[in-house]
Amino acid sequence: MNLTNLSELHNIQHIVNIPSIFNNGILSHNQAKKLKIKSKDISDVEPQDKRSRVVVPGGRRLHDYANLYINGRNKMMYKVTCKYSHSELCVLCVNPSVLDLRGVVIADCNASSDYVRFYPSPEGLSHIDFDLVFARSWKHPDNIIEEWRHGAIICAEVLVPDKIDSGFIEKIYVSSKESLRTVQKLAPDIPVDINSDIFFL
């Protein structure tokens, strides 16, 4: 995979977090704690506990990075839509130019996976399997091992140290007209599009 394949990166959020994000940026887990930012955390406790123990090559912990997905229509999104109504969620579309920021790391699958490999950005994109990351499904009914592997790969991540400035956010995806109206009020200067597919609708 290379930059010509990539028009945007994705960050999955609860809609109530939008004002904070446009004030403070997309923050790493630790940066949000440091600044005492109150937000709606849509992640599960167990995966976050595992992520807290991961050290990225170079010595920083995974929780020191703001994370983006290469494809937001992934296993994480599916889990989130089982926990929250799709009308509560949004996807922030981030300009791929963040890949050129200092210290950015590319994870070839879910960054807390036991099999993840980390690469410097942007050259690390060459290790991303476009077809697997943008597959319509990670399910492999006849091969559970392959399903686990693909489920991690489809969640490939871009890790940005500390924070992503809100100026990199170019668009917001929502699932419905109801969500569209809500987000337009919260972020009146950013284009908002209905993209039901990314929410598995």
Per-residue model confidence as pLDDT tens digits over 36-62: 877 888 876 456 778 889 999 988 999
- What are 138-168's pLDDT values in tens digits? 999 999 999 999 999 999 999 999 999 999 9
DSSP 8-state assignment for residue 86: G
Q: Counting beta carbons within 10 angstroms of the beta carbon of residue 59, is it exposed (0 to 12), middle (13 to 18) or buried (19 or more)?
A: exposed
- CA–CA dist 183, 9 (Å, integer): 19
Q: What pLDDT does 181 receive?
A: 97
Q: What pLDDT does 2 receive?
A: 79
Into how many domains does the chain fold? 1
Q: Mean pLDDT score of the chain, rounded to an integer?
A: 94
State yes or no: pLDDT of 111 exceeds 90: yes
Structure tokens at 145: 């091992």
Mean pLDDT of 178-182: 97
Which residue in this structure is represented by tokens 């839509």?
A: 81
Q: Which residues contact residue 155 at a Cβ distance below 8 angstroms, ignoring those fewer than 6 apart?
A: 69, 74, 75, 76, 109, 110
5-28 b/e (C-beta count within 10 Å ≥ 16 → b): ebebbbbbbebebbebbbebbbbb
Mean pLDDT of 92-118: 96
Q: What pLDDT does 35 receive?
A: 85
Q: Is 59 left (phi over 0), alpha (psi -120 to 50) or beta?
A: left
Coil vs helix vs strand at 94: strand
Strand order of the β-sheet with 65-69 is: 118-120, 105-107, 157-161, 65-69, 9-14, 89-94, 169-174, 192-194
Return phi, psi of residue 13, to 5°: -140, 160
Range of the domain at 139: 3-199
State yes or no: pLDDT of 183 exceeds 90: yes
- What are 51-93's pLDDT values in tens digits? 889 999 988 999 999 999 999 999 999 999 999 999 999 999 9
